[in-house]
Amino acid sequence: MEKRYVTVDLETTGNSFEKGDRIIQISIVIIEKGKIIDQYTSLVNPEKPIPAFIQELTGIDDQMVTVAPKFEEIADKVYTILEHSIFIAHNVKFDLGFLDGELKHAGKHHPVNLTLDTVELAKILLPCSPSYKLQDLSDQMNVVHDNPHQADSDALATAELFLLLVKKAENLPVVTLEMLYRLAEKADSGLTFLFGAILAQKRKHVENLPGNLDVWRGIALRKCPDAREDVALQTETFPLGTDEKAQLFQQHFHHFTLREGQFEMMDTVYKALTTNTHAMIEAGTGIGKSIAYLLPSIYFAVNNNKQVAISTYTIHLQHQLIENELDKLKNIIPFPFKTALLKGRDHYISLFQFEQSLRENSDSYDEAITKMKILVWLVQTETGDVDELNLSGGGVFFWEKIRHSNRNVHQREDPWHQRDFYARAKRKAFEADIIIMNHASLMKSLEGRMDIPQLEYFIIDEAHRLEKAARNTFGVHLGYYDLKNMLGRIGTSEKKKLLYKLEKSVKRLKLEPSIHVFELDEALNSFDLEINDLFSLMGQLLFQQHKNNAYKAQVSITSQTRLERKWQSIELCAERVAAGHRFIQKGIAERLGLMETSRKALKPEELALLEETTAFCEQWNTIQTTLDRLVFHPKKEDIVWIEGEKKQILNRTFIHAKPLNANRFLSEKLFGTAKSVVLTSATLTVNRSFAFFAEECGIQPFQKLEKMIESPYAYEKKAKLFIPSDLPDISAVASDEYTEAIACHLIAIAHAARGRILVLFTSHDMLRKTFDLLKDSEELHEYVLLAHGISSGSRHRLLKTFQQFTKSILLGTNSFWEGIDMNGESISAIVVTRLPFSHIHEPVTAAKMQAIKEAGKNSFSAYSLPEAIIQFKQSFGRLIRKETDRGAFIVFDRRIVTTMYGSAFLRSLPPIQVEQQPLKELIPAIEQWLENE
C-alpha cells in the first residue's frame, strides 16, 4: 500500500457522455500508506436540466447546481488530484470513461495509467456475496454509507471498501495469492499489480498457515473434518400440552408470543408422524409453520430413530431452514439432533477437475475471474456447494466443467478423494435425523435417480407447488440456446474445446478412431446449420398461428398438427438433426472408449478430460431421447408445445413436453409407499375444502388428516379490498382498451399510495403495453418504474431495486404472484389487473380442460376456477407478511363482483372490508386507509 490511490465517484444526468449527459457531482478520496487522508467533493453545473429520476435517486436538484462551478472550472484541480495516482472506482469503466469525456471537453487528457475496480475485486474476494452493488457491499462489510447515490458518500464508501478488500487479500495464503496473481492478467483492471504487491510483502515473512486451513497439491482449502455430532443419549417426550410448549420457548426467548395456531399445527404434524398417517394442513400467514413442522419432526425422528425429510420448493428455502429455523431449534430442543442439506451431486465441486482446470492457460475473462473466485471460496467453504457462490453467466458455464459428475475417475486415481465434498455430504445425509431437500430432488429420489437413504416420512412445505414441480421434473424441453451452448463446449478441432483436447490425447497415445476428426468437424458444422433450420421452422409455425403483435406465443402440437405439411417439414429437419447427433455421439464415444482402454497411460489432465467429457456426454446423449419424445414418438400422456418470443425467434424458441398430470406418479411413488406425508402451505383449500388440491396431487384415495389453521393477524385492521367500479368489463372490451383504462387508473393509484406498489398481470403482452403507456405518459416521472422481462436484472434484483426506493412500482407476471417475502419495508399496495385464470389456449391448461370435459365434468368449476382461486390467495398473501404491515389490495377485474363465481374469490380472502366505488371516490379512500397506519 505504498502507492497513492484515489477512489472516484460521479453523479451524472445519465449514462452516456457521448449522448450529452454531464457530471452533476464529483468526489475523490485520497488514500496514502493504507489510510484515507483527504477528500475533495464538488457539485457541478451540468448546464442542462437534471432528469426527475436522477433527482429522486441522488437528492440533487436543478437549484442546487445552478450556482455550482462548471466542470471546466474545476478541471485543473481534478487533474492535479488524479495525477500520479492509481484510479479506483466501483465500476471503473463508467467513472473513468465519463471523466475522460469531461476532461477532454475541458481541453485535457486524464492522467491515469493504472485502474482498480472494486466491483471486480469484490467478485473475487467476496465470492459468496449475493450482490456487488456498493450499498449492499457496504451493509455487508459494515461500512458507513449514509447517502447512497451521492458522490461524496459513495466515494468514501468505495475507499473504505477497497481498504477492507485489501486486508482480505493480505490474509489469504501465499499459494492462493500466487494463483490469483497468475490469473489476474486476464482481469480488466490492475489486479496483477495489486496481488503482486501483496504477494511481495507476504514473501518477506515466514508464513504461519491458520489452523483451519490446509494446503493440498498447491491449493489452500478450509479443513473440514467429518464432524461427529453429539448423539442424543437421553431424549424427552414431545411436549403435548400448551404450557409445556410455551415453557420450552420462553426459556430462550424473552419476548416470546404464544401462537395457538402454531402449537395446534405442531400437534397435528406429530400425530400424523406417530400414527403413520398422511396430513394436509393449511396454515395462514403468521402461524410460523416452519417451526411448527420442524419441532415435532425432530422429536419424532430422534425418539424413534427414523429420518424425516423436509421438502421445500426452492433451494433458497432449504438454506433458510438450515440457517434460521433449525439453528434456533438447536437452542430450544433439550437434546442434540443431526441435520443435513441434501442436493444432487452436480451442486458440488470436483476438486480433481478444478485442479486440472488451473493448469490450463486458455482462460476467457469470465473463466479467469471464476477461477479466482473459487480459489478464495475454497479457503472459506465447508460444503463445496455451488449455491454458496455468486456466479456470472460465464461462471455458470465454467462450473459445468468442474462440477461433480458420475465419477469416471476411480477413487485410487483421485488424490482429492479424502477431501471430496459430495462424499462428505452424502455421509452426513445417511446419518441425519432431519434431511432438508427441495421438490425437484424429492422427485428424483422417488424415481431412484439419487443415491440417498430410503425415506418413509416426509414434510412437504409449499405443497401447493408439488404437482407442478413433479410435472416440471418429468418433462423435457429443447431450446436453440441450449443446443448452441453444448455445441460450443464440444467445438471443432480448431477451437481448443473438448474435441480438440480429446484428439490431442488420442494422438499422443497413438490411437486410431474409425471416425476421422475432419469428419467430426464437418458433422459439427452441419449440425450447427441444421439446428438453425429446425428452430427457424418452429418459429415460422409458431408465428404463422399468432399473426397478431404478440410478444410471446405458444402453440400446442396435437395429433392433428402432426399431420400437417409444416410439421412434416420440422420432422424431416429433426431427422437430419438426430442423424448428425448420432454421428457426433459415436465419434466422441469412440474416443472415450479408446482412452479408457489406455487408462493406465493417461496423464492426470487426461483423466480430468475423461471425467469432464463423460459428464458432458450424459447431457449430450439426452438430445436423442428428447427429440424422440418431442418429435418422433410422443408419449400419450404428454402435452407438447412450442413457445417463443417474436423479437428473438431463434434464441428464445423452445419445444416442451410435460405429462398432463403427475398425480398418478405421486400417488404410487410417494403417498403409496411413504408411511406419513404431511403437506402444508398457506393456500391449499378452495371454499374451505381440500378436494381440489387432494385430487391434483394424488393423495385423494388415501386416509389423511385435514386441518385449517387461521392466521393470527387481525386482517380487518391490516388490509382493505378496493374495487374500482368504473373500469370496463374485461370480457366485454378489446384488450388494448382495457389496458389503456388500467394504465390511467394505475397513475391515479400510484399518486394515492405514494409507496411501493406491486402490479400483477396474467399476460406479459398486457404488462408490456401497460409499462409503455405509463412510461410515455410521463405522469409517474417521480417513480422508479420496473417491469419483469423489460427492466434489466433477475427477479431477485428487481425486488431489491423495488425495495430500495420509496416511490417504486413493479409490474410482474407469473412468479411475482407468490413467493415474495419482503425484508424491511413492506408493500403499500397490490394491484391485481385481472383474475388469475390461466389462458384457455395455454397448452397445459387447454389439455387439462379437454381431459376434464372428456371425463364428463365441467372444466371451469373442476379446474380453472379452483386453480385461479389458489393463485388469487397467494397474491393477497404478499401484502401482509408481518404484524406491523398494512396495505391496500386493489382488484381491477370487475368480474369479482359482477359474476356468480366472483363470490368464490371474495370468500377466499380473510375477513376484510370491501369498498367498491368509481375511481374518483376510491382514491381518497385509499389515501385515508394508508395514512391511518
Residue 56 backbone dihedrals phi, psi, to 5 degrees:
-65, -40
Which single residue is written with the C-alpha cell 395446534? 264
Domains of the chain (ranges, CATH numbers): 4-171 (3.30.420.10), 476-659 (no CATH), 715-931 (3.40.50.300)
Distance, CA of 107 to CA of 119 (rounded, Å): 30
Distance, CA of 756 to CA of 880 (rounded, Å): 13
Distance, CA of 155 to CA of 89 (rounded, Å): 8
Binding site annotation covers 14?
no
Confidence of residue 136 (pLDDT cuts 50, 70, 90): confident
Distance, CA of 76 to CA of 42 (rounded, Å): 13
Which range is least confidently modeled, 683-692, 758-767, 792-801?
792-801
Give 658-693 pLDDT, tens digit per residue.
999 999 999 999 999 999 999 999 999 999 999 999
Give 177-210 pLDDT, tens digit per residue.
999 999 999 888 899 999 999 999 999 888 888 8
Binding site annotation covers 242?
no
Distance, CA of 711 to CA of 714 (rounded, Å): 8
DSSP conformation letters of 145-180: -SSTTSHHHHHHHHHHHHHHHHHHHHTS-HHHHHHH
Confidence of residue 320 (pLDDT cuts 50, 70, 90): confident
Mean pLDDT rounded to a whole number for the chain: 90
Give 571-590 pLDDT, tens digit per residue.
999 999 999 999 999 999 99
Distance, CA of 817 to CA of 832 (rounded, Å): 9
- pLDDT in the model for residue 442: 92
Confidence of residue 549 (pLDDT cuts 50, 70, 90): low
Residue 837 has pLDDT above 90, yes or no: yes
Contact predicate 760/817, CB 8 Å: yes
Residue 10 has pLDDT above 90, yes or no: yes
Binding site annotation covers 793?
no
- pLDDT in the model for residue 232: 56
Which single residue is written with the C-alpha cell 434489466? 792
Distance, CA of 94 to CA of 16 (rounded, Å): 9
Bridge partners, 719 (sequence order): 887
DSSP count for the chain of H helices, then E strands: 38, 25
Half-sphere exposure of 727 (CA within 13 A, CB side): 32
DSSP conformation letters of 314-367: SHHHHHHIIIIIHHHHHHHSSS---EEE---GGGBB-HHHHHHHHT-----HHH
Contact predicate 88/5, CB 8 Å: yes
Residue 363 backbone dihedrals phi, psi, to 5 degrees:
-75, 140
Give 806-833 pLDDT, tens digit per residue.
888 999 988 788 766 655 467 899 999 9
Residue 1 has pLDDT above 80, yes or no: no
- Pairing mode, strands 757-761 and 808-813: parallel
- pLDDT in the model for residue 256: 73
Binding site annotation covers 286?
yes
Binding site annotation covers 468?
no
Summarize the confidence of residues 471-478 as an average pLDDT.
92
Distance, CA of 269 to CA of 291 (rounded, Å): 11
Binding site annotation covers 792?
no
- pLDDT in the model for residue 824: 46
Give 613-626 pLDDT, tens digit per residue.
988 998 899 999 99
Query: Which set of grid coordinates corresponds to residue 324?
Result: 434460521
Query: Which set of grid coordinates corresponds to residue 876?
Result: 393477497
Whole-prediction pTM:
0.87
Distance, CA of 45 to CA of 102 (rounded, Å): 12
Confidence of residue 783 (pLDDT cuts 50, 70, 90): confident
Residues of the chain above pLDDT 70, percent: 96
Confidence of residue 790 (pLDDT cuts 50, 70, 90): confident
Which range is least confidently modeled, 262-266, 789-793, 917-921?
789-793
Residue 489 has pLDDT above 50, yes or no: yes
Residues of the chain above pLDDT 90, percent: 65
Spell out the residues 6+ positions from residue 327 whose beta carbon is closer than 8 angstroms to its own.
none
HEC secondary structure over 785-816: EEECCCCCCCHHHHHHHHHHCCCEEEEEEHHH
Which single residue is written with the C-alpha cell 440417498? 452
Binding site annotation covers 580?
no
Binding site annotation covers 283?
yes
SS3 381: coil
Q: Which of residues 269 and 789 earns the better pLDDT score?
A: 269
Contact predicate 308/301, CB 8 Å: yes
In our burial notation (b when 16+ CB lie closer than 10 A, e otherwise), range 343-357 reads: bbbbbbbbbbbbbbb
SS3 65: helix
